[in-house]
Structure 1
Amino acid sequence: MKIQIIGASGTGKSTLENYIAEKEKVKWIDTDCYIWKDETFSENYPIDQRLKMYANDREKYNRFVVSGSVFAWNPTGFNDRDLLVFLTLDDKLRFQRLRQREIERTGESSLWLDMHGNQTNDFLDWCKTYYTANDPSKIGTFAEHTYQMNHSSSPVLKVNSDQSLEELYQTIMRFVIK
């Protein structure tokens, strides 16, 4: 089983992948670990080091679930997957999740109010560009994800993540078993 889940930040990719990995007893690969050196998300790895980490994981694991994308820096990465899952979520709920996560990570004092009175920071401002960014080579954008779905050699399953983890898991497993 080789499943990759993509979608906008805050749709629940990592939470779902971790859940599937535990249920299926497979490796969970979080693509953020290829990019960021630590949990502050302030310093990233050079691409050559990312490629080495990716190659190492691919040598070690035949069965896995992947949360996120490597397409922007490794266009052929995870192309042998069995299923590509695209998670969606209503933007209001997605941004509630993102704001709460940012408060838990960096504290409420790291946020400021935007012109609409919503709490924001640089990361949240970037998340607002998910649907408006047009370059498919830009990581974590709808343009990138659409390109991947349109060119996927594996089946693509689009799922709204406003369901329980168990419901999402069951939906994905029914599709994988087909």
Structure 2
Amino acid sequence: MKLQLIGASGTGKSTLGNYIAEKKHIKWIDTDDYLWKDKTFSENYPIEQRLKLYHDDREKFDHFVVSGSVFSWNPTGFTDRDLLVFLTIDDEQRFQRLIKREITRAGATSVWLDPQGNQTNDFLDWCKTYYTAKDPSDIGTFAEHSYQIAHSKSPVLKLDSSQPLDISYQLIKQKLEKNPL
């Protein structure tokens, strides 16, 4: 089984990916691990090193679930997947998740109030561009995800990630059964 989960930051890709990996006893690949050198998300790996990490995982694991995309720096990555899952969620819920995650990771001082009185920081400001970015090469944007969906060789399943993990998992299993490997 080769699954890839895409969607805006805060839609639950990592949570669902880890859940599926544990259920199926397969490798969970978080594409952030290819992009960032550490969990502070402050320094990127160069593309050559990302490609090496990607190829090392592909050689080691026949079955996996991927959370995130590599498309902007590796357009041919994960094109042999069995299913592409596009996660969506209401933007208000998404930003509640993101703000909570930012505060958990870096503390309350990692966010500030914008002129409208909303909590924000540089990452959250970037997340607000998910639907407005127009270039498919812009990583982690609706434009990028729409391009991947339109050109996917594998079936695509769109899921509302506000539902419980076990429901999402069952819907994914059902879609794979309808489209056997």
Structure 2-normalised TM-score?
0.98
Q: Give 4+ residue runs of structure 1 displaced > 3 Å after superposition.
A: none
Aligned to 1:175: 175
Q: Distance in 1 between matches of 2:24 and 2:104?
A: 29
In the alignment, is residue 126 of structure 1 matched against residue 144 of structure 2? no
Task: Supply the distance in 2 between the matched residues of 1:3 and 1:175 (Cα, whole angstroms).
Answer: 11
SS of 1:163 mapped into structure 2: coil
After the TM superposition, which residues 13-24 of structure 1 pair with which residues of structure 2 at under 5 Å, given as runs? 13-24=13-24
Q: CA deviation at 1:95?
A: 0.1
Which residue identity does 2:133 align to in structure 1?
A: A
Whichever residue aligns with residue 13 of structure 2, its letter is: K
What CA deviation, in whole Å up to 9, does each residue of 1:73-119 have, x standing for no partner?
A: 00000000000000000000000000000000111112110121010
> Is 1:40 the equivalent of 2:40?
yes
SS at match of 2:167: helix
**Counterpart in 2 of 1:96?**
96
Aligned residues: 178
CA distance in 1, matches of 2:61, 2:109: 41
Percent identical pairs in the alignment equals 72
What TM-score, normalized to structure 1? 0.99
Q: Secondary structure at the match of 1:84?
A: strand
What stretches of structure 2 of length at least 5 have no aligned partner?
A: none
SS at 2:95 equivalent: helix
CA distance in 1, matches of 2:114, 2:135: 25
Where does the alignment leave 5 or more consecutive residues of structure 1 unmatched? none
1:72 alignment partner in structure 2? 72
Deviates more, 1:112-121 or 1:83-92: 112-121
Q: State the AA in 2 paired with 1:134.
A: K
Q: CA separation in 1, counterparts of 2:110 and 2:22? A: 33
Alignment of 1:48-67 (within 5 A): 48-67=48-67
Provide the rounded CA distance (Å) in 2 between the counterparts of 1:110 and 1:151: 38
Q: What is the aligned-residue RMSD (CA, Å)? A: 0.4
Aligned equivalents of 1:139 and 1:157: distance in 2?
A: 20
SS in 1 for 2:16: helix
Match of 1:85 in 2: 85
